[in-house]
């Protein structure tokens, strides 16, 4: 059954008679600030209301629609004084709405899903996510404007104001091009207040780092400036860093953490957990296990050396921020597909549940779930360096990472099916070819390695010394970046005239390219 793209019948059957007159006092962008809450299914703007109501309506079983169960099971703001009767009225309206939709005839040779929510047939942010402890959620579905809405339903909503440098990413997401996404300190205090009670939390994000040259680049931060924060998840080259301020004390009775959340917990340098491709990263904290960082469902940090503590030292006047620092000196470049904050430290099974749910996927029944499982397996167990940042055109034709995403270019393990420049049938055909004749399939795709070879052999390429994140200094024996135009190939020297390929990518901003070219020139040791 296809969902209607226009809101006509929704307006006459559901919105006009029920949602706007009885829900707009709170669930509307026009409601008073002190009572306004998401989702905005009662908004006077029918398009806003329809978009908000889609995920709350179940076409297959109207009685299971959330806007029905909130009345029937929770007695949520019943308007007549009889919640059962009000719930039945809404259920009947949804039934009439569903009956007016003409079912799509499905090819009997195809396997299809029987899930019939309104989001079927449209891009969906995964399914079956663990959200029981979720207190804030940004799915970036709006696609335009200067606000990214917190759609968790937990008040107050931390709606993020976007600067002009932030652009909307197709298939849900925002791309940070030098800007900032920032909540007000008043709304951000929700995080402070809830975590004071819970004593634990998780930061969850689906990210696409623009490159692996950024340092101290804030991805998710609850802070007041460069030297004051409650917590931060950031990027330093190939590492994810987790900074957290607690009241923990060391063996001498001194504070174990600074106002800035140091010492940070980082993924090991040797692991190179952070790559310039789509990744699911979750940072958790509880006073027993301390800080942990999971990348694509895998625990990627050692034991936290800082003892457990509480958040009694936190400040409630800080701002929740994505992609930068409150003082605008912690710029992170990349794309955020989804960000969520949880009041509990998610365990490994819950983290993997959300990882397996994916982000921004088209739900294609059993076939789609099978393809998603293949994609998730590739993400969880990447063959580092294989087909990384390959570009399906001549080496002198350069695409930015955003352009590559738009064209469905394979930049490493785990391309998004919803973003690919192929339909599901073509993807199935490609997957079958890789299984039936792997030698021919991968032989063709292996030609992309020739492009990296050309960059390495380019006599005009600039050679620069790489940065050793552990030693916090340039180290000519550690990495070398070769810049051919704005195409970067990174290798690690291992002695005896040998080197290991690390990654390759397009430096798709002048700032990134200038930073690389600003590093010392590399030359063989004498």
**Count of C-beta atoms within a 10 Å radius of residue 344:** 18
Cα atoms in the 13 Å half-sphere on the side-chain side of 358: 28
pLDDT score of 109: 56
Interatomic CA distance for residues 505 and 481, integer angstroms? 11
Mean local confidence (pLDDT), 418-439 = 59
What band does 106 get if pLDDT is binned at 50, 70 and 90?
low
Give the distance from CA 166 to its chain's centroid.
15
What band does 66 get if pLDDT is binned at 50, 70 and 90?
confident
pLDDT in tens, 162-198: 987 899 987 789 999 889 999 999 999 999 999 999 9
Tokens describing residue 413: 């393990």
Indicate if the pLDDT at residue 373 is higher than 70. Answer: no
**Count of C-beta atoms within a 10 Å radius of residue 498:** 9
What stretch of H or E contains 144? none
Q: What is the DSSP string of 240-303?
A: EEEEE----B-TTSSBSS-TT-PSPEE--GGG----SS-EEEEEEEETTTEEEEEETTEE----
Percent share of the chain, pLDDT over 70: 72
pLDDT in tens, 336-348: 999 999 999 999 9
**Count of C-beta atoms within a 10 Å radius of residue 329:** 11
pLDDT score of 4: 58
pLDDT in tens, 1-60: 445 555 788 899 999 999 999 998 888 888 887 777 778 889 999 988 888 888 778 887
Taking the alpha carbons at both ends of the chain, their separation in whole angstroms is 71
**Cβ atoms of residues 340 and 136 within 8 Å:** yes
Q: Which domains does the chain have, with CATH numbers?
A: 8-121 (no CATH), 129-357 (2.60.120.200), 452-517 (no CATH)
Tokens describing residue 308: 């457990």
pLDDT in tens, 131-148: 999 999 999 998 889 999
pLDDT score of 266: 96
What band does 316 get if pLDDT is binned at 50, 70 and 90?
very high
pLDDT score of 365: 37
Q: What is the pTM of this model?
A: 0.54
Indicate if the pLDDT at residue 331 is higher than 70. Answer: yes
In angstroms, what CA-CA distances link 344 with 130, 322, 347, 351, 395?
11, 20, 9, 12, 47
pLDDT score of 428: 63
For strand 160-162 and strand 181-182, is the pairing parallel, antiparallel, or unpaired? antiparallel
The least confident of 304-318, 323-337, 482-496 is 482-496
Mean local confidence (pLDDT), 218-247 = 96
pLDDT score of 479: 60
């Amino acid at each position: 059954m296809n969902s209607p793209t226009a809101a006509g019948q929704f307006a006459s059957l559901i919105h006009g008679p029920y949602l706007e007159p009885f829900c707009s006092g709170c669930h509307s962008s026009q409601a008073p600030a002190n009572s306004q809450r998401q989702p905005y299914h009662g908004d006077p703007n029918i398009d806003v209301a329809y978009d908000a109501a889609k995920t709350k309506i179940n076409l297959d079983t109207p009685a299971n629609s959330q806007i029905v169960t909130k009345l029937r099971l929770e007695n949520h703001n019943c308007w007549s004084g009889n919640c059962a009767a009000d719930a039945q009225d809404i259920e009947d309206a949804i039934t009439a709405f569903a009956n007016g939709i003409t079912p799509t005839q499905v090819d009997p040779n195809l396997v299809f899903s029987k899930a019939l929510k309104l989001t079927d047939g449209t891009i969906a942010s995964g399914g079956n996510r663990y959200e029981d402890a979720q207190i804030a959620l940004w799915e970036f579905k709006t696609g335009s404007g200067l606000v990214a809405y917190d759609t968790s339903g937990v008040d107050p909503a931390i709606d993020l104001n976007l600067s002009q440098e932030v652009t909307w990413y197709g298939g849900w997401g925002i791309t940070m091009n030098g800007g900032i996404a920032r909540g007000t300190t008043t709304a951000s205090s929700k995080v402070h207040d809830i975590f004071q009670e819970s004593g634990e939390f998780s930061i969850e994000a689906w990210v696409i780092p623009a490159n692996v040259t950024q340092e101290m680049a804030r991805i998710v931060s609850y802070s007041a400036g460069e030297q004051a924060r409650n917590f931060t998840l950031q990027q330093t080259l190939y590492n994810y860093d987790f900074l957290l301020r607690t009241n923990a004390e060391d063996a001498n009775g001194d504070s174990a953490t600074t106002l800035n959340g140091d010492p940070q917990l980082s993924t090991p340098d040797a692991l190179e957990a952070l790559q310039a491709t789509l990744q699911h990263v979750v940072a958790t904290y509880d006073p027993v296990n301390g800080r942990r960082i999971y990348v694509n469902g895998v625990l990627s940090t050692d034991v936290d050396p800082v003892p457990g503590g509480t958040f009694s030292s936190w400040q409630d006047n800080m701002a929740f921020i994505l992609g930068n620092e409150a003082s605008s000196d912690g710029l992170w470049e990349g794309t955020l597909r989804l960000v969520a904050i949880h009041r509990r430290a998610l365990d490994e099974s819950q983290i993997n549940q959300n990882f397996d749910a994916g982000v921004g996927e088209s739900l294609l029944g059993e076939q789609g779930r099978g393809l998603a499982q293949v994609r998730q397996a590739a993400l969880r167990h990447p063959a580092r360096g294989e087909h990384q940042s390959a570009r399906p055109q001549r080496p002198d034709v350069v695409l930015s990472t955003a352009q590559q995403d738009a064209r469905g270019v394979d930049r490493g393990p785990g391309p998004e099916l919803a973003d690919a420049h192929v339909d599901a049938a073509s993807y199935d055909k490609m997957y079958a070819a890789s299984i039936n004749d792997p030698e021919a399939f991968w032989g063709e795709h292996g030609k992309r390695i020739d492009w990296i070879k050309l960059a390495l052999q380019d006599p005009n390429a600039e050679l620069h010394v790489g940065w050793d994140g552990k030693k916090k200094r340039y180290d000519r024996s550690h990495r070398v970046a070769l810049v051919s135009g704005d195409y970067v190939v990174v290798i690690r020297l291992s002695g005896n005239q040998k080197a290991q390929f690390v990654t390759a990518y397009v430096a798709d901003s002048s700032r990134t390219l200038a930073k690389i070219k600003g590093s010392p020139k590399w030359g063989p040791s004498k």
